[in-house]
Amino acid sequence: MGTRDRIIDAAEQAIHEYGIAGATTKRIAQRASCSEALLYKHFAGKEELFLAVLLERMPALGPALTKLRLGVGERDLRAGLVEFTRTALEFYTRAAAVAGGVLGDPPLMAGFRSMLAKNDLGPHLPVLALAEILRAERQAGRIGPGLDPGAAASLLMGACFHRANLAHFVDLPDDDATWAASIVDTLFRR
């Protein structure tokens, strides 16, 4: 395992244990058994390091979107959407503490925001990718014409993101599988 990967792992563990505010570069370097100077050779700052944690350690959404895209017009649509909903929920559950921590730290947030803008990245991209897939499904005739693909993508991803956040604050009464099926059945009803 290379130094870069050790540092990303150490950052993920430190965030989990201490939160974003407590996940200092000193603690992360110690845990990765390297110097802070070496950490800064791999990452310009905490923003870049936390982005790497989000993109490289929580890679579930990309493959799940690809799977949906490859099944357009062919694979069982309801089953595919329910599976995607559960994957998105798991992804957001893991990502929530990192995203929340960044959001709750104004100087870190400012740096994070400008880094995303400079690199044309952002947490809105999976919503746009899902909208494209739903547009293709509508063209294939498997989704009704009354459903706006962009709005449906916002609704589905938003429900997953919100539930992932809620579950950190309270014990939710219903289980994830039942919830995911009811979300898909309500949103894509014809």
Query: Which residues are at the interface with a copy of itself (CB under 8 A)?
Result: 16-22, 96-109, 112-113, 116-117, 122-124, 127, 144, 146-148, 150-152, 154-163, 165-166, 168-172, 174, 179, 182-183, 185-187, 189
DSSP state of 45: S
Q: In this complex, which beta carbon is closest to a copy of itself, that of residue 44 or of residue 166?
A: 166
- How many CB atoms are closer than 10 A to CB 3? 14
For a copy of itself, the closer of residues 41 and 124 by Cβ is 124
Rounded to the nearest whole angstrom, what is the least distance from the CB of residue 146 to a copy of itself in the complex?
4
CB 156 within 8 Å of CB 130: yes
Nearer to a copy of itself, 20 or 29 (CB): 20
d(CA 66, CA 101): 29
Length of the chain as a residue count = 190
Do 102 and 20 form a contact (C-beta atoms < 8 A)?
A: yes
Nearest distance from C-beta of residue 3 to a copy of itself, angstroms: 26
